[in-house]
Structure 1
Amino acid sequence: MSALEEYTIARYQEDYRAQIIELWAKCGLTRPWNDPDKDIDRKLTDRNGAFFVLLKGREIAGSVMVSYDGHRGSIYYLSVDPDHQSAGLGKMLMEHCETFLLELGCPKINLFVREGNEQVLRFYEKLGFSEETAVALGKRLIPDI
């Protein structure tokens, strides 16, 4: 059995919530202005996307949120526990998301990487992503704090 075969990808279940939030904190994905509980609650209302978890046995080793708006796919909260990184698991999760989106007829994926996160930028570049000449704009409609 290869190392990757020890891992499975499954749909999010509510009993994973605390472990997922802990994973996101461990991976540096949480921010004071985003409540991760609320982000999970919002994701669970998304009828066009999915929330996948990466499991090694019963242990949460990673997660990813994927969505499709009819025009582009989006990836959020891709995370692999630092104790499990560099084994191809992030790539495994992304391939799973790409297959999911292709089955929906999605022609393109967009995602955001925080400025200065060179390690993550290199990861996505290895997967064929490239920087686009667009400016990301945002406006908060509902404050989390």
Structure 2
Amino acid sequence: MQLRPFQESDTESVIALWELCGLTRPWNDPHLDIQRKLTVQRELFVVGVEDGDLVASAMAGYDGHRGWVNYLAVHPGSRGRGYGRALMEELERMLADRGCPKLNLQVRADNEQAIAFYRALGYVPDAAVALGKRLIAD
């Protein structure tokens, strides 16, 4: 797999991947999520390509205090090959290069497979409660 920055022509393939991986939700329009990301640190939106097919993606961001990862996805047929790990290592490197001291991410509590994946990479639960407030309805 080769990693590269997201390109606008990847949009439909990325959304199809997110849907296949169960990452989309009715209250988050994936087209808008992509458009918004492209206005802020677009270089931290990375995709993985294998034999011309888009098989992985992840978005990251850094606010000067913490880094965040969203929409990490690996095509089910490409899992077990280290692609998720490679994506995370690349994002960690990119964030560390910006001086980011800590990387946070959120995983739905019932997604045991994802939790196990991140634990294997050294991520541990923080003693924190995630709160959210919708500012713009999609």
Instruction: State TM-score, norm by structure 1.
Output: 0.93
Contact 1:52-1:64 within 8 A present in 2 as well: yes
Q: Give the SS at the match of 1:98.
A: helix
RMSD value over aligned CA atoms? 1.0
Structure 1 residues 98-107 or 48-57, which shifts more? 48-57
2:24 maps to what in 1?
30
Aligned residue pairs: how many? Answer: 138
How far apart, CA to CA, are the structure 1 residues paired with 2:50 and 2:85?
16
Q: Give the SS at the match of 1:9.
A: strand
C-alpha deviation, 1:50, in angstroms: 1.2
How far apart, CA to CA, are the structure 2 residues paired with 1:121 and 1:97?
18
Is the counterpart of residue 119 in structure 1 residue 109 in structure 2?
A: no
Q: Deviations over 1:111-139 (max 9, x none)?
A: 00001111000000000000011111000
Is the counterpart of residue 57 in structure 1 residue 51 in structure 2?
A: yes
Matched residues, percent identical? 49
Where does structure 1 lack aligned partners over 5 or more consecutive residues? 1-6
Where does structure 2 lack aligned partners over 5 or more consecutive residues? none
Is the counterpart of residue 132 in structure 1 residue 126 in structure 2?
A: yes
C-alpha deviation, 1:142, in angstroms: 0.3
Contact 2:5-2:43 within 8 A present in 1 as well: no
Contact 1:75-1:111 within 8 A present in 2 as well: yes
C-alpha deviation, 1:48, in angstroms: 7.5
- Structure 1 segments (4+ residues) deviating >2 Å: none
How far apart, CA to CA, are the structure 2 residues paired with 1:109 and 1:82?
25
